[in-house]
Amino acid sequence: MEKPVTKKTGFRRWSDGGISSYLMLAPFLLLFLMWSVYPVIASLRLSFMRYNAICDPQQAPCGSVGLGNYTTLLFHDPRFIKALTNTSLYVVGAVILGMLASLSLALALQEDTKSNRILRVIFFLPTVTSGIAIVMVWGWVFRGDGVGLLNAIVAKFGVNPIEWLATPSFAIPILIFMSIWGGAGFGMILFLAGLNSIPAMYYEAAVIDGAGPRERFRYITLPLLRPVMVYVLITGIIGAFQIFEGVYLLFPTSVGSIGGLKDMALMLVPYLYDMGFNRFRMGYASAIAWILFFIIFVISYINIKATKSLEDLR
Amino acid sequence: MSTTNPDIEHVAKSESFGGFTNPFEKKGKYYKLRRLPIYLLTVVMLAPYYWMVTSSFKGVKELQEVPPTIFPKKPILGNYYDSKFDPTTYQQDVVQGLFQRFPKVQFGLWRFFFNSVFVDVAITSLTLFIGSMAAFVVAKHKLKGKRGIYLVIIGSMMIPWQVGLIPNFLLVHNLGWLNTYWAYIIPALPKAFIVFFFVQYLSSIPDELIEAARIDGAKEFVIYFRIVLPLMKPAMIAMMILTAIGEWNNFLWPLIITNSESMANLPVAIALLKNSGAGNIGTQGPLMAIALLVSLPTIILYFLTQKHFVRGIALSGLK
């Protein structure tokens, strides 16, 4: 006997859910295409143009400049180079110290005791607190006059009030400190989840083989934490490259732009904002955005490749 | 080696936290002493919050004292609302309270509260709704081309959102949406991470549950509402909290799309207040007051939902 062949018609040919599959996917997909995919493509196109949001894109003074924005940024724009070096220094400091802080906190607070649970909550609080609200308090802590909190502390040691936010060499360390204070608890939670997923029997076996705490940490904990470490590292780098709020509110300049005295705290995203929304150089700002993307992409790629090859080695 | 090795016992006893042993483990007589740095760090962590709370209750005179006072000598509410304040006359020690600021904005500070709450509720509910529907289709429907679509969604998470910032602004500008709630809400709805998270979560749910309903003739929308949504509850709660807190604290996008004061959200209102006072000591008290009021809702939400919240973050990091 032959099986009855049910011929699929209409939308059933492409999907077992019929048209409802498409109806359910459509709201997200259409919004995603309009507000996530199209802007990325448009921004690439803008990055080869001069554009100020009002002019006709085809006519002077707007129009295509080829690679002009990129060559100007990389070779003729000292402010951009300053923003790039500042951001790099900041990212290196914030990510390395931040990872060390997160891992130490996770190890120190891993045991599930009542006091540790309370401590974890305290260290995690900045993650849920409005960044702007906290920046306001930091602004007070680092005030230049005697009213400032940090100056009140150094005054105890006989030091005169210091203009913390107007001393170029302090700018990046202060921003790194703010980043660790605000981010260590988030990394801690990820590391805690990683630590708790390591099976206890590995440690038991190691103890039977005579491994001490140090060996167990070196040869069990660290290797098994590597996936979490890579995740924390990559998300940390991506997040650090996008620093904005602290620079915007703590380091204004007298001429109404961003970056502080001598651009000591100028970073990539604040510079992008300054170019795009203070000066309406939209094409130029898009080129900054693409350089930012390129840097983040290369670093993430190297990270993933490096961990892969490290794993292949063992 | 004997089986009564104290180390083994220690590991076995500590099974509740994964049998972990680490450099900080509870051993030796200096354990308490080694914990001291942690407690000192706690002070550093809490100091800004303490400062925020206490300063918001200090008078303008006390705020100028050198060295600063640790406990407010005479707590006052003037930084929030000072009935003695009169915009036409200058009085010593009287500041314009937080709720008396922004005179050009109808309802003053309350307007910003409304903006923040309304936008946050709208984005969170809509983004979870459309995200979970899309994830259901991607995870549980056989669909031509869905693999490619999902790849683009995941790939977009690699791109920093600032890359699309300027075209997003231009879109909003050309649609005439500047200073409207549309500009807040619509561009924030498609969140790739939420779809990714839900797809991960749904792939751990057996297909049989959905197949069975389908055989019974249930429509896909009915399956979504009756079967998928209830199953997704834990993932939904985790993402709901993350999205709600993220949107509450959002700053850069609202800053760009609003130039009329009345459409600001709370973080932008903080910046407006700060820039209006530019270091003037009379603004510092109200600034601490608004910082406290903006921080409190998310902190309270976090305390109420702590378990879900931490689980959501941990899950997102491990997958």
- In this complex, the residue of B8, B68, B170 whose CB is nearest that of residue A147 is B68
B84 with B138, same domain: the answer is: no
- A63 strand-pairing partners: A50
pLDDT score for B153 = 93
Q: How far is CA B316 from CA A78, B242, B246, B281, in A?
A: 40, 11, 15, 43
- Tokens 């679509």 locate to B149
What are the φ/ψ torsions at residue B103 (nearest 5 degrees)?
-65, -25
Identify all chain B residues contacting A207, using CB atoms and an 8 Å cutoff.
Answer: 5, 7-8, 11, 21
| Best CA proximity match to B285, nearest among B110, B108, B41, B82 | B82
B235 with B300, same domain: the answer is: yes
Q: Tell me, what DSSP letter sits at residue A36?
A: I
Identify all chain A residues contacting B173, using CB atoms and an 8 Å cutoff.
Answer: 53
Is B101 inside any structural domain? no
B131-146 pLDDT tens trace: 999 999 999 888 888 8
Q: Cα distance from B310 to chain A (closest Cα, Å)?
A: 7
A233-284 pLDDT tens trace: 988 998 999 999 999 999 987 777 788 888 899 999 999 999 999 989 999 9
Tokens encoding A185: 């608890």
Q: What is the spatial distance between Cα A94 and Cα A22, in angstroms, rounded to a whole number?
A: 44
Identify all chain A residues contacting B287, using CB atoms and an 8 Å cutoff.
Answer: 136
B16 with B47, same domain: the answer is: no
Q: What is the mean pLDDT of residues B18-29?
A: 53
B203 with B311, same domain: the answer is: yes
What is the SS3 assignment for A15? strand
Instruction: Choose the most confident range, by mean pLDDT, from A161-170, B94-103, B302-311.
Output: A161-170
Cis peptide before B67 (omega within 30 of 0): yes
What are the φ/ψ torsions at residue A50 (nearest 5 degrees)?
-100, 125
Is B104 inside any structural domain? no
| Residue A183 or A212, more confident | A183
Q: Cα distance from A246 to chain B (closest Cα, Å)?
A: 11
pLDDT score for B28 = 60
Supply the ipTM of this predicted assembly: 0.88
- For an interface test with A, which of B34, B153, B166, B220 has the most A Cβ atoms less than 10 Å from its Cβ? B166
- Nearest-by-CA chain B residue for A109: B24
Contacting A residues, span 20-49, partner chain B, CB-CB under 8 Å: 20-21, 24-25, 27-29, 31-32, 34-40, 42-43, 46
Amino acid A167 reads T
Tokens encoding A127: 């993650």
Can you state the angle between helices A114-128 and B36-55, rounded to 10 degrees? Answer: 50
Instruction: Inform me whether the pLDDT recorded for B160 exceeds 80.
Output: yes
pLDDT score for B315 = 66
Alpha helices in chain A (DSSP H): 19-32, 38-46, 68-76, 78-108, 114-128, 131-141, 149-155, 168-196, 200-208, 213-216, 222-224, 226-241, 245-250, 268-273, 282-313
CATH, domain range A77-280: 1.10.3720.10
**B11 confidence band (pLDDT: 50, 70, 90):** very low
Q: Which residues does A166 contact at the CB level (< 8 Å), separation at least 6?
A: A144, A260, A261
**A1 confidence band (pLDDT: 50, 70, 90):** very low
What is the SS3 assignment for A280? coil
pTM recorded for the entire structure: 0.88
Q: What is the mean pLDDT of residues A166-177?
A: 93
pLDDT score for A19 = 82
Contacting A residues, span 212-251, partner chain B, CB-CB under 8 Å: 213-214, 216-217, 221, 227-228, 231-232, 238, 241-242, 244-245, 248-249
pLDDT score for A254 = 72
pLDDT score for B2 = 38
Identify all chain A residues contacting B284, using CB atoms and an 8 Å cutoff.
Answer: 140
Average pLDDT, chain B: 84
| Best CA proximity match to A183, nearest among A141, A140, A237, A144 | A237
Q: What is the spatial distance between Cα B311 and Cα B161, in angstroms, rounded to a whole number?
A: 25
What are the φ/ψ torsions at residue B307 (nearest 5 degrees)?
-65, -50
A248/B190 Cβ within 8 A:
no
- A258 strand-pairing partners: A252
Domain ranges, ordered by start, for chain A = 1-32, 77-280
Residue ranges making up the domain that contains B88: 34-95
Average pLDDT, chain A: 88
Q: Which residues does B125 contact at the CB level (< 8 Å), separation at least 6?
A: none
Number of domains in chain B: 3
B176 with B283, same domain: the answer is: yes
Q: What is the spatial distance between Cα B8 and Cα A203, in angstroms, rounded to a whole number?
A: 9
Q: What is the mean pLDDT of residues A37-59?
A: 87
Q: Cα distance from A31 to chain B (closest Cα, Å)?
A: 6
Identify all chain B residues contacting A205, using CB atoms and an 8 Å cutoff.
Answer: none
B245 with B225, same domain: the answer is: yes
Alpha helices in B65-145 (DSSP H): 109-140
B314/A190 Cβ within 8 A:
yes
| Listed range (A93-97, A290-294, B175-179, B206-210) with the worst mean pLDDT | B206-210
Is B144 inside any structural domain? yes
| Best CA proximity match to B3, nearest among A201, A204, A216 | A204
Amino acid A136 reads M
- A64 strand-pairing partners: A49
| Residue A264 or B8, more confident | A264
Contacting A residues, span 192-211, partner chain B, CB-CB under 8 Å: 192-201, 203-204, 207-208, 210
Identify all chain B residues contacting A303, using CB atoms and an 8 Å cutoff.
Answer: none
Q: What is the spatial distance between Cα B305 and Cα A247, in angstroms, rounded to a whole number?
A: 32
- Tokens 């032959």 locate to A2
- Nearest-by-CA chain B residue for A31: B190
Instruction: Inform me whether the pLDDT recorded for B12 exceeds 60.
Output: no
Give the H/E segment covering residue B199.
helix B192-202
B17/A133 Cβ within 8 A:
no
SS (H, E, C) A248-271: HHHCECCCCCECCHHHCCCCHHHH
B296 with B165, same domain: the answer is: yes
Contact A238, B246 (CB under 8 A): no
B57-107 pLDDT tens trace: 988 888 888 778 888 888 888 888 887 777 777 777 778 888 888 878 888
| Best CA proximity match to A32, nearest among B244, B161, B122, B317 | B161
Instruction: Inform me whether the pLDDT recorded for A13 exceeds 50.
Output: yes
Q: Which residues does B171 contact at the CB level (< 8 Å), separation at least 6?
A: A34, A35, A38, A39, B187
pLDDT score for B4 = 43
Q: What is the spatial distance between Cα B60 and Cα B63, in angstroms, rounded to a whole number?
A: 5
Q: What is the spatial distance between Cα A39 and Cα B162, in angstroms, rounded to a whole number?
A: 10
B125 with B74, same domain: the answer is: no
Identify all chain A residues contacting B171, using CB atoms and an 8 Å cutoff.
Answer: 34-35, 38-39
pLDDT score for B279 = 65
